[in-house]
Chain A
Amino acid sequence: MASQQQLSVIKGTKVLMVGAGGIGCELLKTLALSGFQDIHIIDMDTIEVSNLNRQFLFRQSHVGQSKAKVARDAVLKFRPHISITAYHANVKDPDFNADFFKQFNVVLNGLDNLDARRHVNRLCLAADVPLVESGTTGFLGQVTVHVKGRTECYECQPKPAPKTYPVCTITSTPSKFVHCIVWAKELLFAKLFGDKNQENDLNVRSSDAESSSEHKDDVFERKKDEDIEQYGRRIYDHVFGYNINLALSNNETWKNRNRPRPIYSGDVFTNELTRQNGNMDKNFATDDGTSVSAMAYLGMKNPQDIWSLVENSRIFLEALKLFFTKRGKEIGNLSFDKDDQLAVEFVTAAANIRATSFGIPLHSLFEAKGIAGNIVHAVATTNAIIAGLIVIEAIKVLKNDTSSYRMTYCLEHPSKKMLLMPVEPFEPNKSCYVCSETPLLLEINTLHSKLRDFVEKIVTAKLGMSFPLIMHGSALLYEVGDDLDEYMVANYAANLDKVLSELPSPVTGGTMLTVEDLQQELSCNINIKHREEFDEEKEPEGMLLLGWTQPFLAAEKDDNKSNGNDASTSNASTTATVEAEMDDEIDVIHAGKKRKLSEESKDAALGISRVADGTKNHKVLEVLADEDDLVMLGDEETGTKKKRLL
């Protein structure tokens, strides 16, 4: 197969790789060995210790350096005579426009987030360059081929929405550990150490009994001269004691649930235990910000241990104290970061104490970090396999061997005896707004919704546009860009706050809007349909985008069924059906026969049952705001979690 003809095709090729991470390292190596001589690689990231177990081109001494550049240098060591061009940059930079993409024969993605994948997809379509896309999670992976007009584009099938939980599950009726983590990270941590002006549902409290609380609002403020130990105990008693008591007073909530147990610091530390807390004077921990650790102060070493209630309480108080004493300057600006040891300690402890209240099993710091940081499982072997498959597919694309294109799934458990399962690629989705010209349909209340809602919830969140331009006929309603004059900026800002029907060029039922992103060279039309009412629970956005989105929830149901028997397959980030029917023929599964959207919604494995629990005022809380969490082709930094982590 590595024939002369094939080699000459490879040699004359200019290839662009996006991503120099887990898949990227393997891919760059395999491309170089396979004879590719002109490789360009883009990655904005720098090397971290936790990359070293699989990103084999990197060493301890490279930590902090550009992945793209170190990868290039490492590969040049065994292939000195080829050309590798490294860009330490974001692929979304305007420099990497369609003209830039046009110089390549094929683009290979080894990315870790949905946002960048969509961006590259659009540019490949605009530049008419074939794209080979990939992703891995643990032992699972997949490779897909996207050739304009021949196969579906990366966005032909809608990607899963971010995981969300009803607010009241988080604030008052957690039933899983992840709910406690979300509470600790998004609410408590944000309230104590984050931006004070940000809306925070901790204020909402856990019940309707809100009116009875006297020391609202200021309870989280540290009083002048308040002793830090005292402040910590006060916060502790408020969130784990008082608030739970408050919640308990609403009998309705607990009719069919186990009643939580309020926990007060006085009950936990029966003696004078807190006094022993911390070895501040010993000062054996370094004082440079992020290396401060409550575990180190308390002499606890093993992140795999599950702490007792007393230990969790100590960590909680110690971590809180350390934030105020050692990292006081950052308070007010902190947001949770999985690489911030003290933050992870605080969140683990808080989540565990809350879990104790609600009778939910406790978890180790290691596990809690994985859940809170949305960390994806990654191993070298899967990345190596996927990289090999990418190169095989890339060579087919270069040879224009259309009939042999395959999307391939790498499975953990064999299906039809296969661990590597090729499937014929799907045809383009005729209603895809990205690769076809079919207009979308938006149901929206044009008398209530503002242009801002439309921009935020549809243009940015759903269509993934970064520099949008919105037109009604020839009238420009809105635009984002660097070179706008002040007058326009003011004009657009004013438009944002206007209700659709009151815009200078009114948007009403029957209007067609054109939305463009010049950088992505994407333009699509949206037909507006006025609708009065929206179901708060099912349509929390107050608008509904149709025409492209597929019946996602139905697929998920399907999935859960097939899952039941095997928790680990359930994490497959695959989109095709992979169940094993042992028939006689081992044939390539044919396109369209059995498409199941499914597995991506496997993120649902994280326990994100979208099951609404019946009560009113469900707002939807966005969880794991990390951009990583949405993705279907979950690769290493992306999405999917194993159930057993929970």
Chain B
Amino acid sequence: MDGEQLTAQETALYDRQIRVWGADAQRRLSKAHILVYGMKGTVAEFCKNIVLAGVGSLTLVDDRMVTEEVLSSNFLIPPDENLYSGMTLAELCCNSLKDFNPMVRVSVEKGDLSSFGVDFFDNFDVIVVSSCSLAAKKLINKKCRTASKRVAFYTVDCRDSCGEIFVDLQDYRYSKKKLEETINCHLQYPSFEEAISVPWKTLPRKVSKLYFATRVIEKFEEVEGRNPGEASTADLPGVLKLKKELCDAHSLNESHVPDNLLERLVTNTSEFPPVCAIIGGILGQEVIKAISGKGDPLKNFFFFDALDGKGIIEDISSDSNTGK
């Protein structure tokens, strides 16, 4: 890089991981600025991972107050009302995260992320959002894309024992060593809006059913004006009806979106801690890859369902599906 060296303190602390990704990657990490929005269990896991990894700074945005549900999966918040009352989720998590690694600057930004100007996004290399409405996801993604430099955008959500990650690295170039050769790679990512607009019937037959199910739920919440994760068993008939409509519109056989999967996703909207750990871990690795330029980043969706145990990558972009 630019000749700056890691300090002896950094080398000692990060010894084991420098052995995984090298000193160069560690230097890049220490200069990266990351923002997260939506401090539930999965994001807490992610934050822990990248603070330990030694990023330059981490900014937390979430003005909500503590709820029972957040407490159940977020280990960054002490379950003592005397300790958490009056503070926002971001503030509480910030206090805990600071402790994990004194070399990382952790701070809180108040407000509604989707209303922030594009110049605000310029301050970051990576934006991760969770528990966000469909409209907010699209909007924030758009702002990342209009920033003056590349701002990587990720969404992450877990429900029941399922999880989804979406990745937009825009125009991403990296090189890797294969044997003695250095290979230059180039990936082009669609935005979230572009990705979810790809007609379902053009997707490969084996695309994860979770992809469709998540889109149905996401759409349902939007149409019904619900907050993300705000659904219950009572909504199942409505969700199933919407599924049928969407499948018809996309000329997709309904069997691709199983009713029992949708039922799971509306019945239990809270996060399942082992899945938070898994999804938060995969997301941590992906962000580290994108910052360090080491390793093949995933393009552009990742799904995990504890029921079958598979952690699957799906490439959902208009250009990649035609040939398959």
Give chain A's interface residues, CB within 8 Å of chain B. Answer: 1-3, 26, 29-30, 32-34, 49-50, 52-54, 56, 59-60, 77-80, 138-139, 301-304, 366, 370, 375-385, 387-389, 391-392, 395, 406, 408, 410, 412-414, 417-422, 564-567, 584-586, 588, 636, 642, 644-645
11 contacts between A and B (CB under 8 A): A53-B14, A56-B52, A301-B8, A304-B6, A377-B16, A377-B20, A380-B52, A384-B281, A391-B274, A585-B206, A586-B312
The listed residue (B20, B99, B177, B314) touching A379 by CB distance below 8 A is B20
Q: Which residue of chain B has the shortest Cβ distance to A386 in the bound complex?
A: B281
- Interface pick from B126-134, B145-153, B232-240, B298-306: B298-306
Q: Chain B residues near A26 (CB, 8 Å)?
A: 277
Residue-by-residue, is B232-273 near A (CB-CB < 8 Å gives 1, otherwise 0)?
000000000000000000000000000000001000101011
B39 proximal to A (CB < 8 A): no
* Known A-B contacts A3-B268, A381-B285; A419 and B99 likewise in contact (beta carbons under 8 Å): no
Q: How far is the CB of B81 from chain A (nearest CB, A)?
A: 12
Q: Which of B20, B160, B298 has the most chain A CB atoms closer than 10 A to its own CB?
A: B20
B293 proximal to A (CB < 8 A): no
Report whether B78 and A419 are in contact in the complex, using a CB–CB cutoff of 8 Å: no
Alpha-carbon distance A366/B100, docked complex (angstroms): 25
Q: Chain A residues near B313 (CB, 8 Å)?
A: 414, 417-419
B186 proximal to A (CB < 8 A): no
Alpha-carbon distance A387/B73, docked complex (angstroms): 15
Q: Which of A50, A138, A384, A567 has the most chain B CB atoms closer than 10 A to its own CB?
A: A384
In chain B, positions 1-45 with a C-beta closer than 8 Å to chain A are: 5-6, 8, 11-21, 23, 41, 45
Report whether A586 and B277 are in contact in the complex, using a CB–CB cutoff of 8 Å: no
Report whether B312 and A1 are in contact in the complex, using a CB–CB cutoff of 8 Å: no
Report whether B52 and A304 are in contact in the complex, using a CB–CB cutoff of 8 Å: no
B75 proximal to A (CB < 8 A): yes
B230 proximal to A (CB < 8 A): no
Report whether A2 and B277 are in contact in the complex, using a CB–CB cutoff of 8 Å: no
Q: Which of B273, B307, B312 has the most chain A CB atoms closer than 10 A to its own CB?
A: B273
In chain B, positions 291-324 with a C-beta closer than 8 Å to chain A are: 295-296, 298, 302, 304, 306-314
Q: Chain A residues near B312 (CB, 8 Å)?
A: 417-419, 586
Q: Which residue of chain A has the shortest Cβ distance to B44 in the bound complex?
A: A33
The listed residue (B16, B276, B309) touching A53 by CB distance below 8 A is B16
Alpha-carbon distance A391/B6, docked complex (angstroms): 36
Alpha-carbon distance A176/B279, docked complex (angstroms): 40
9 A-B pairs with least C-beta separation:
A420-B311, A388-B277, A422-B309, A33-B273, A385-B281, A1-B161, A388-B278, A384-B281, A388-B274
Q: How far is the CB of B227 from chain A (nearest CB, A)?
A: 20
Residue-by-residue, is B53-96 near A (CB-CB < 8 Å gives 1, otherwise 0)?
11000000000000000001101111110000000000000000
Q: Which residue of chain A has the shortest Cβ distance to B284 in the bound complex?
A: A381
Q: Chain B residues near A420 (CB, 8 Å)?
A: 278, 282, 304, 309-311
* Known A-B contacts A302-B5, A384-B284, A388-B281; A138 and B310 likewise in contact (beta carbons under 8 Å): no
Alpha-carbon distance A585/B204, docked complex (angstroms): 12
The listed residue (A50, A139, A379, A406) touching B309 by CB distance below 8 A is A406
Q: Chain A residues near B53 (CB, 8 Å)?
A: 53, 379-381
Q: Which of B102, B264, B310 has the most chain A CB atoms closer than 10 A to its own CB?
A: B310
Report whether A381 and B282 are in contact in the complex, using a CB–CB cutoff of 8 Å: yes
Alpha-carbon distance A76/B205, docked complex (angstroms): 47
Report whether A49 and B16 are in contact in the complex, using a CB–CB cutoff of 8 Å: no
Report whether A30 and B273 are in contact in the complex, using a CB–CB cutoff of 8 Å: yes
How many cross-chain pairs have Cβ atoms below 8 Å apart between A and B?
197
Number of B residues whose C-beta is below 8 Å from A?
A: 71
Report whether B12 and A49 are in contact in the complex, using a CB–CB cutoff of 8 Å: yes
Q: Which residue of chain A has the shortest Cβ distance to B162 in the bound complex?
A: A1
B288 proximal to A (CB < 8 A): yes
Q: Which of B19, B268, B284, B304 has the most chain A CB atoms closer than 10 A to its own CB?
A: B19
B49 proximal to A (CB < 8 A): yes
Q: How far is the CB of B153 from chain A (nearest CB, A)?
A: 19
Alpha-carbon distance A301/B276, docked complex (angstroms): 41
Report whether A78 and B78 are in contact in the complex, using a CB–CB cutoff of 8 Å: yes
Q: Chain B residues near A421 (CB, 8 Å)?
A: 310-311
B144 proximal to A (CB < 8 A): no
For the complex with contacts A385-B281, A418-B311, 4 further pairs of A-B residues with Cβ separation under 8 Å are A378-B17, A395-B274, A420-B304, A565-B179
Report whether B79 and A1 are in contact in the complex, using a CB–CB cutoff of 8 Å: no
Alpha-carbon distance A566/B181, docked complex (angstroms): 12
Q: How far is the CB of B5 from chain A (nearest CB, A)?
A: 6
Report whether B23 and A304 are in contact in the complex, using a CB–CB cutoff of 8 Å: yes
Report whether B79 and A79 are in contact in the complex, using a CB–CB cutoff of 8 Å: yes
Report whether B311 and A377 are in contact in the complex, using a CB–CB cutoff of 8 Å: no
The listed residue (B52, B160, B284) touching A1 by CB distance below 8 A is B160
Report whether A645 and B282 are in contact in the complex, using a CB–CB cutoff of 8 Å: no
* Known A-B contacts A384-B281, A565-B178; A642 and B19 likewise in contact (beta carbons under 8 Å): yes
Report whether A53 and B54 are in contact in the complex, using a CB–CB cutoff of 8 Å: yes
B137 proximal to A (CB < 8 A): no
Alpha-carbon distance A388/B304, docked complex (angstroms): 12
Report whether B16 and A378 are in contact in the complex, using a CB–CB cutoff of 8 Å: yes
Q: How far is the CB of B104 from chain A (nearest CB, A)?
A: 11
Report whether A2 and B298 are in contact in the complex, using a CB–CB cutoff of 8 Å: no
Q: How far is the CB of A337 from chain B (nearest CB, A)?
A: 15
The listed residue (B177, B274, B282) touching A392 by CB distance below 8 A is B274
Q: Chain B residues near A33 (CB, 8 Å)?
A: 41, 72-73, 75, 273, 276
Alpha-carbon distance A566/B272, docked complex (angstroms): 35
Q: How far is the CB of B307 from chain A (nearest CB, A)?
A: 7
Report whether B275 and A422 are in contact in the complex, using a CB–CB cutoff of 8 Å: no
Q: How far is the CB of B69 from chain A (nearest CB, A)?
A: 12
Q: Chain B residues near A565 (CB, 8 Å)?
A: 178-179
* Known A-B contacts A139-B20, A420-B311; A304 and B277 likewise in contact (beta carbons under 8 Å): no
Q: Chain B residues near A303 (CB, 8 Å)?
A: 8, 11
Alpha-carbon distance A382/B49, docked complex (angstroms): 10
Q: Chain B residues near A59 (CB, 8 Å)?
A: 99
Alpha-carbon distance A644/B304, docked complex (angstroms): 31
